[in-house]
Amino acid sequence: MIHKAISYWKLHRFPMIMVLTSILFYSAFGYQLPRTDFVKLICLYAALFFICYKLIQLEKWNFKFLLIAGTLFRFILLFAEPNLSQDYLRFIWDGQLIIHGINPYLHLPKDLLMEVHHSIPHAMDLYNGMGELSASNFSNYPPLNQVIFAISTFLAGPSILGSVMIMRIFIILADLGIVFFGRKLLLKLNKSTHLIFWYFLNPLVILELTGNLHFEGVMLFFFVWALYLLHQQKWKVAAVVFALSISIKLVPLMFLPLFLKYFGIRKSIYFYAWVGGVILLLALPFYSPEFISNYSQTIGLWFSNFEFNAGFYNLVKYIAEFWGAKPWELIKTYGMIVPIITIAWIGLLTFIRSNQTVNSLVASMLWILSLYYFLSATVHPWYVIFLIALTLFTQFRFPIVWSLTIVLSYFAYSNEAYKENGFLLLFEYIAVYGFMIYEIVRLKSTDYLFHKN
């Protein structure tokens, strides 16, 4: 036994040293990093990203080693309260409302505080911690996500950290599920299975999902599982699982038109019926006449009121302000135009591309979501994680570059005014656009984008 351990150490000592180093860095990130310390943040992140690259390069065929390493990195963060996001406090608030029989879609936290501050544990702390913006808006988290919030707060009782830990376990299990189904799908698509570790070991994925408790990973678990089921021609089960993905985060909704060509018109109608039926079934316990109005109002704010880490929008804003436009009017106008452009782009890729194989389908999804984020006025770092998952099943890798550079957007948290640094954002997007253009040129033409086979 000792002889085997020594031999293994000799063969893998450098990767093992890198894993131990990463554990220390993730510990520092989770337990010792104030989000105002931008220099420490980017240094730790750059080091973790480099180690991620080297681990995949050196051990890409050692599945167990990389799986254990990625799992360890996540469990290191198990007891840390999120330090780069305060969204988790709204998650706990919503969960507490549900277990107390209150619909989170019908009441603003600021209106409920006085009524529930005695019955909900730490209500004042949750309210103050979630921030004024969250407290002034209805919940925008879909029904299945709310169920996870409720289960976590119910099992944890009055403990905020306990709720965080249970939600974190959901997210870790989802990431393990992505590895399981993602690897199987890569095999079916004749792609290298080690590519899944560009998701599982990516520090953006680990820090934003496990660390900061964003539920993109749970959504992606159902999404990747649904893609695998589609490849296996189990479309009814795939429809149910796809609906579960939408019921965690709404983003996969924009991909539904692509199935018109994948299934054909008649079968796609049945697919949509299954998806819609499951979504409605999950939403039914929360339904009331005000539900749709409140939810739509909150979702609409993201198109017309907020801006963070924007790419193309910042260019438009710079030009518009030069000609005397008012920023608060510009973002509302811009917010109305982006959905129109996105819908037109979805229609174009729906009817120009064949979308008759999972390969073609995923490539269309990648380009739809990429354009949407390129145009969006708000691109939080965890949004890019969906692109990372999609890109593994295509020939493109620019989202992985974006997962490296997007951490520059956290400069905004280093100052009290939350003011962004234009030069850092410019560097971020030049790197992403530049690498994307390089990849398109490398493929000789845009034939891949409008591939018909």
The CA-atom distances, in angstroms, between 320 and each of 101, 324, 334, 368 are 48, 6, 11, 26
Residue 82 lies in a domain: no
Residue 286 lies in a domain: no
pLDDT of residue 438 exceeding 60, the answer is yes
The CA-atom distances, in angstroms, between 154 and each of 94, 100, 117, 123, 150 are 11, 10, 17, 15, 6
* Percent of the chain residues past pLDDT 90, beyond the cut: 73
Mean pLDDT over the full length of the chain: 92
Least confident of 121-125, 171-175, 237-241, 323-327: 323-327
- Round to whole Å and give the CA distance between 294 and 328: 22
pLDDT digits (tens, 9 = 90+) for 143-178: 999 999 999 999 999 999 999 999 999 999 999 999
Residue 214 lies in a domain: no
Say what the pLDDT of residue 296 is.
Answer: 77
- Confidence class for position 453, pLDDT limits 50, 70, 90: very low
More confident residue, 294 or 337: 337
- Round to whole Å and give the CA distance between 274 and 257: 15
Residue 355 lies in a domain: yes
Residue 403 lies in a domain: yes
Q: How many CA atoms lie within 13 A of 72 on its CB side?
A: 15
Structure tokens at 89: 């406090």
Mean pLDDT throughout 87-108? 94
Residue 25 lies in a domain: no
Say what the pLDDT of residue 425 is.
Answer: 95
CB distance 206 to 26 below 8 Å? yes
Q: Considering its fold, how many domains does the chain have in total?
A: 1
pLDDT of residue 80 exceeding 60, the answer is yes
Residue 60 lies in a domain: no
Say what the pLDDT of residue 452 is.
Answer: 47
In which domain, by residue range, is 419 found?
306-453
pLDDT of residue 116 exceeding 70, the answer is yes
Question: What residues contact 50, with CB distance under 8 A and at least 6 apart?
Answer: none
- Spatial CA neighbour of 243 closest among 217, 219, 216, 267: 219
Say what the pLDDT of residue 143 is.
Answer: 96
pLDDT digits (tens, 9 = 90+) for 251-267: 999 999 999 999 999 99
pLDDT of residue 353 exceeding 60, the answer is yes
Least confident of 7-16, 243-252, 347-356: 7-16
Residue 121 lies in a domain: no
Say what the pLDDT of residue 289 is.
Answer: 83
The CA-atom distances, in angstroms, between 316 and each of 175, 322, 381 are 37, 10, 21
Question: What residues contact 436, with CB distance under 8 A and at least 6 apart?
Answer: 370, 396, 398
More confident residue, 11 or 268: 268
pLDDT of residue 250 exceeding 70, the answer is yes
pLDDT digits (tens, 9 = 90+) for 252-309: 999 999 999 999 999 999 999 999 999 999 999 998 888 888 877 777 766 666 788 9
Say what the pLDDT of residue 448 is.
Answer: 54
